[in-house]
Structure 1
């Protein structure tokens, strides 16, 4: 049964890569700009499979490429009760449900749930509900304060030793937000995970360093709650 479900997801992923989505927003080449590239999706899938994830929280659905890769990982691991919580308040109004429809066509709606609230509200509710995840994938707002808040709540949701993966680490706002958690709360970069993936220069500055588009970090186990006197500038 696992092989059949995985093959169904792969077929939908291959179709999306080959033909693109059935609908896109008005900006030209919006799908190519917004969606996570196929090779990065494969690396994300392989990382999650190697971790044996059973519950994943994802922020940002858009055209569904990363969600399909996460779904493939969950199906491949084959846990008894896989769970994929996808948060995207703009899926219907901005993306005409195209990402969610793809998940449904892949049969992943049996393990996935779409939450249409802003991530600051949805994640707080997950904390209130006592949800524990093995990993999270963050590709929502790229504004510093909103990324910072997403990571604040995910620290309470992702289990000790679990993973947080961020898209668009080349943006200064995302890099700065995760830097706080690395410097002050013991989050550890996982090197080389996306070394074969897509690279961008930081801030899209041609003279800047080229870095992998995605960044994976591991939460400490046990969790660290340092005294306020130990604040490290970031």
Structure 2
């Protein structure tokens, strides 16, 4: 991440550059979309939610973050802003999105590049069910993860299975769209059986968007995202103690 004169900028300069790209994305939208007038607004995590995600990661002192799903990079830019704010010696942002090129024409990745975050980010184009086991085998240890990939129950469950082995004990996992029954049910297993703890008030309660694919927009406001704390130390429960979810 260098300026026009080839000099490495300081933390404030890096944060300002990322912040400028984030604001431009909110104001103007991405450089290209999959089609449909409201695709960006429907797919992307809202700016205020991304701000909360950024602040959580800064408070966590996160140095290595895994993200499932890139799309238009709203959350990825917030994660990048957190990493350049923490400013560890070797920040890492590993992003898993097999559809970034095919479906989003690299719109999200190009936004990360324009923010200078490609120097700390790695894009893996394999499905998460393949990429995460590889990262585990390579010995990756992350401080936190953000999950916003497939919302099918079995795929969310598998993402969380591998992330609990990649994210350090006591680390943080944030899930988007926990109002979706499939996502919420997958998380419930880990809460009831593996000691994951939802951090109360990490994200505000808000009405569900009328355009949401699932749920009743007339329902009571609920957080869009959930932040959960992994147990420290981690443990494997006896199979006899299985708790239904």
Does the alignment reach a TM-score above 0.5? yes
Correspondence for 1:209: 220
Pick the aligned partner of 2:208 from 195, 200, 204.
200
- Matched residues in 2 for 1:188 and 1:106: separation? 34
1:164 Cα shift?
0.4
Pick the aligned partner of 2:198 from 185, 189, 195.
189
SS state at 1:164 partner = strand
The one-character-per-residue Cα deviations of 1:92-131 (angstroms, maximum 9, x if unpaired) are: 0000000000000000000000000000000010010010
- Matched residues in 2 for 1:205 and 1:33: separation? 16
Correspondence for 2:229: 218
Give yes or no for the alignment of 1:24 onto 2:24. Answer: no
Pick the aligned partner of 1:123 from 129, 132, 139.
132
How many residues of Structure 1 are paired with residues of Structure 2 in the alignment? 233
4+ runs deviating over 6 angstroms: none
Give yes or no for the alignment of 1:161 onto 2:166. Answer: no
- Matched residues in 2 for 1:204 and 1:27: separation? 22
Give the CA RMSD over aligned residues. Answer: 1.3
Pick the aligned partner of 1:38 from 47, 63, 68.
47
- Matched residues in 1 for 2:171 and 2:123: separation? 22
- Matched residues in 1 for 2:57 and 2:166: separation? 17
- Matched residues in 2 for 1:39 and 1:106: separation? 19
1:205 Cα shift?
1.6
TM-score relative to the length of structure 2: 0.93
Consecutive unaligned residues in structure 2, runs of 5 or more: 1-9
1:207 Cα shift?
4.9
TM-score relative to the length of structure 1: 0.97
- Matched residues in 2 for 1:27 and 1:173: separation? 25
- Matched residues in 2 for 1:208 and 1:232: separation? 28
